[in-house]
Amino acid sequence: MITYCYAVWDEFVNFIGGRSGILHWIIFCAALVFCAFLGKGDRKRLFWPSVLVLLFFFNPVFYATIGIRFLSGIYWRILWMLPVSFVIAYALTQFTFKWKKNVVRVTVVVAACVCIAVTGEREFSKETYQEKENAYEISQAAIEISDVVMGSLMDWKENIIVPNELLCDVRQYSCSVGLLYGRNAGGFITDIEDDERAVYEEMSREEPDLEIVTGIAKNRNCRYIVFNTSFHRIPEDLSGYGYEKLTVVQEDYAVYRRIPE
Amino acid sequence: MNCRDILYTTVLFVLLPMWIGYLWVELLKLKDGWSRLVHAWVMGFATMLAVAQVILVPLVALKATLTLAMILWQTALSALSVCSFFLLLRRLKSGKLFGRRAEKKKWQTWSIVFGVLAAVMILIQAYIPARYEHGDDDDARFIAEEVSAVVHDTMYIDDPIAGELMYWNQGEVKKDLTSPWAMYMAMCARISDIPPAVLSHTYAPFFLILLCYAVYLLIGHVLMRGDWEKTFLFLVFLSVVHLWGYTSTHTLASMLLLRIWQGKAVCASFMIPLFFYLMYRLMHREYHKVWLGFLYVAATGACLLSGIGIITVPVILLLYGIVDFVVYRDRKKTVTILMAAVPNAAFLLYYLIR
């Protein structure tokens, strides 16, 4: 049972974002207690449902029976049922209107906003949003590589190997380009096979073992391999491995195509 | 962005939901003009989700084409639209098209200040995700599924990584069988002829964030008992909490402002708050029975968005149902509230036995 308690706590910490989120949670808890004293209506709409959600979430028996079985890895999503932002906003609004003078009200509003801002993290920043490269909002290199592959399709789709930073982008643009491995390399969507894992590990190195990469690529019918030359240190000529350089996109991405036998 | 695409997405995400939601507004006999408009938008969108869920799940299981799903969905929406049209005609004859105008009262200065401030902050939140780029690795699955559906006219029959056939019921993709939000977006992409990645990343966030704030406006208005000054200040505080809520990528604020185009984010930011609102409406001794009926529709719509929608909605109904029963002791109402979880239970069962 102690193990489950720790596991639930880890899920909670994961949800709030550790120390960076603790202050917003303290504000939420204070707001919830404030709501409990506002009146019967607020207790039944905000306080008691929130308390029940917290009891549900921090219940190791619920975690052991339902959480592990149906919500493995995403148990923290139970906390979406907790009206955190609504309770904070509601309590602050009611608190503001407890004061009669407008000057005091404005001061309270400004102070509350500053308090939330200082204790939180900005949602819009250079870390979260960048200038668009294109309307698709995916890497321009992924689009240009896909266009190169689609320009000479030999079948209804081609399988290709791309550098790790493009794994999530290519299929958002075109379904004519299949990947030997994609997000499954990170443990998502589906299991990755041994040979795919081997290629992924090589492509994660600065100096990939081209024998392994091209060998598996040929076995798995991958006609195209893309290297990021700003990261991968590979020889210009791969004809000895059965691949020829087709083009370079976005200055860094060298597209190699299998030489017909 | 171009005018054609903006026009199509406005119809798909605003005008059509409003038109369909007009049915609910009439059934609820809502009076105020603004209230009719906002309720129509929110309830119409939830109805569109529910209709799509009922159509998509069996068709995905039958490995039908996206075209067939679209035809059935459009037919159902057309039928609802025709019903709305006749109700509108009836209302035109009675001369009360826009409902009761808000009582003539002088808006107080602070109501205007908070209202303008809230509107500006909400518009900024809607604009930035549409204008700038935020990459999320989960799109490797969702948008890849949409692209494949639009191009191949299939639904979940090839895997989102290699594009190999007969993959639809494996791994994480199996979850999408009972929560086909990606096919909903694929249908929107096909109708509007906008590439799924462009629709999801550029157009949908703007409308979906505004839609979420429409729900928050309703929540604020009901919590503040119709006081506009307090409601607008509530929205200001809510915006500030969201704008500075990036303490982790899992918070409601992060779901709303970083990846609202994904089903689970719509569930967290739109559907779960909508259930809060519905429960606030129902938690009275006197309530309109139509809210109970809509609860069933919204519960079905929640299933479309994500597996977490299938699970959280019954829990919300249970928790708020318990509180409501303790306060009002209305056994019939409590049972009716709890029964709204039946669609979720059915889809969960279907997922488990597949």
- CA–CA gap between residue B196 and residue B83 (Å, rounded): 31
ipTM: 0.94
Burial of B159 (0-12, 13-18, 19+ CB in 10 A): buried
Question: Which chain B residues in 98-137 lie under 8 Å from chain A, judged by CB atoms?
Answer: 110, 128-129, 131-135, 137
Query: Is there a contact between A124 and B162 if contact means CB atoms under 8 Å apart?
Result: no
What is the dihedral sign for C-alpha A237, A243, A246, A252? negative
Which has more pLDDT, B211 or B174? B211
Is A36 an interface residue toward B (CB < 8 Å)?
A: no
Q: Residue A124: its chain B contacts at CB < 8 A?
A: 128, 243, 257
For residue B120, give how far its alpha carbon lies from the nearest alpha carbon of chain A (Å): 15
pLDDT in tens, chain A (261 residues): 888 899 999 999 999 998 889 999 999 999 999 999 999 999 999 999 999 999 989 999 989 988 888 888 899 999 999 999 999 999 999 999 999 999 999 999 999 999 999 999 999 999 999 999 999 999 999 999 999 999 988 888 899 999 999 999 999 999 999 999 998 888 888 788 999 999 999 999 999 999 999 999 999 999 999 999 999 999 999 999 999 999 999 999 999 999 987
Q: Residue B162: its chain A contacts at CB < 8 A?
A: 159, 178-180, 182
Question: Which chain A residues in 61-90 lie under 8 Å from chain B, judged by CB atoms?
Answer: 70-71, 74, 76-78, 80-81, 83-86, 88-90
CA atoms within 13 A on the CB side of B334: 14
Question: Which chain B residues in 271-290 lie under 8 Å from chain A, judged by CB atoms?
Answer: 272-273, 276, 279-280, 283
pLDDT of residue B169: 64
Residue-wise pLDDT tens digits, B189-202:
999 999 999 999 99
Query: Is there a contact between B173 and A178 if contact means CB atoms under 8 Å apart?
Result: no
Residue-wise pLDDT tens digits, A156-193:
889 999 999 999 999 999 999 999 999 888 888 878 89
pLDDT of residue B100: 61
Structure tokens belonging to residue B289: 């029975």
Compute φ and ψ for A227, nearest 5 degrees: -115, 145
Residue-wise pLDDT tens digits, B101-124:
656 666 788 899 999 999 999 999
Strands A253-258 and A243-249: antiparallel
B95: left (phi over 0), alpha (psi -120 to 50) or beta: left
**With a threshold of 0.90, does the pTM exceed it?**
yes
pLDDT of residue A78: 94
Is A229 an interface residue toward B (CB < 8 Å)?
A: no
CA atoms within 13 A on the CB side of A116: 26
